[in-house]
Structure 1
Amino acid sequence: MTSSMTSRNRMIAVAVLLVCAIAAAGAYALTGHQDKPATGARPSASAAPAGGWTPDSAALADVCRTKLPGQARDTLTLIARGGPYPYRSDGIVFENRESRLPRQRTGYYHEYTVVTPGSGDRGTRRVVTGGAGEQYWTADHYASFQEIDARC
């Protein structure tokens, strides 16, 4: 009887582990990690669902694409085309060190310069894109962000 109890206990332990693994996978998928591109993949601006835009983060204000400065809209067009970009550092990984954007794995976000007329350098304006196609605008060098709504 002792060996049958040991065998039964093992089966229960395996079943519990299996249920936990399935629950963890489901929770991971529900937190928005499903269908994300592999690390290093760069989506185009068209990766966002057409007509079905939903804010990625309720904590971030959104801004209509048409309300952005013309240079920001030009940058979004370059991103959709895949370049060429005016600055060598455009398209580099944005590390989100201050955690002002939703937390994601390293390599998820990429940054692009928005030309600032009259500036002798890259200036403070950027568009940051996420791996699922989301786009963010900052006019103050990452101190604050707005999520770009392409529907308006």
Structure 2
Amino acid sequence: MRPPANILRSVTTALAVAAALLFGLTTTASAALYSASPAAPSTAASAHPAAATQARLATTTPAHLAYAVQAIPSCTLSSLPTEASDTLALIHSGGPFPYDQDGTVFQNREGILPSESSGYYHEYTVKTPGSPDRGARRLIGGGATTTPVHVYYTDDHYESFCEVDQEG
């Protein structure tokens, strides 16, 4: 009995990420090593083998694979909404925080942030003026709760992050 295709894709993705991280391969090279889909015939393949691989990967590699092996961009605190500075000041002072969820453990289920042990990351709401709820903006602190070693900002509810340069 053959496993369902979605399980094969998940295993394929995990193997590609592991290869990239362990062996320093590029996303394209690691995904090519473990691709579960056969290469589609292409005229580009005869011209340059990498072209065929890249063409196939464009349609067979899951989008989240790119996040798993890319560095998180940095951003300066001054480039973020002013409410982010307010939230960071609350983090450094230990609160009080405006929402009950602030300071709770962030699980990193998306796998975008560097892998750390459970309890390493904590999430904090960055207020969004005019929003009837918490909105999508968050700061994620990594390490000690009042003096995080790393601080990440998201304005799209964990779809993407930048690492905050707290001095800028």
TM-score by length of 2: 0.55
Residue 165 of structure 2, aligned match among 146, 149, 152: 149
CA distance in 2, matches of 1:151, 1:72: 13
Equivalent AA in structure 1 for residue 74 of structure 2: D
CA distance in 1, matches of 2:72, 2:114: 9
Deviates more, 1:82-91 or 1:58-67: 58-67
Residue 128 of structure 2, aligned match among 116, 121, 146: 116
Equivalent AA in structure 1 for residue 166 of structure 2: A
For 1:101, the equivalent position in structure 2 comes to 113
CA distance in 2, matches of 1:101, 1:148: 13
How far off is 1:151 after superposition?
Answer: 2.3
Equivalent AA in structure 2 for residue 112 of structure 1: Y
For 2:154, the equivalent position in structure 1 comes to 138
Residue 90 of structure 1, aligned match among 97, 102, 119: 102
Deviations 1:23-73 (A, max 9, x none): xxxxxxxxxxxxxxxxxxxxxxxxxxxxxxxxxx97000000111100011
SS at match of 2:83: helix
- Determine which structure has greater relative contact order: mean sequence separation of CA pairs < 8 Å that are 6+ residues apart, divided by chain length: 1
Equivalent AA in structure 2 for residue 79 of structure 1: I
The ranges of structure 1 where at least 4 consecutive aligned residues each deviate by more than 3 angstroms after the TM superposition are none
TM-score by length of 1: 0.61
- Count of residues in Structure 1 that have an aligned counterpart in Structure 2: 96
Structure 2 residues not aligned, in runs of 5+: 1-68
Greater helix proportion: 2
Structure 1 residues not aligned, in runs of 5+: 1-56
Is the radius of gyration larger for structure 1 or structure 2? 1
Identity %: 53
SS at match of 2:149: coil
For 2:65, the equivalent position in structure 1 comes to none
- 1:1-152, aligned counterparts within 5 Å? 59-131=71-143, 133-152=149-168
**CA RMSD, Structure 1 to Structure 2 (Å):** 1.4
Deviations 1:87-111 (A, max 9, x none): 0110000000011000001110000
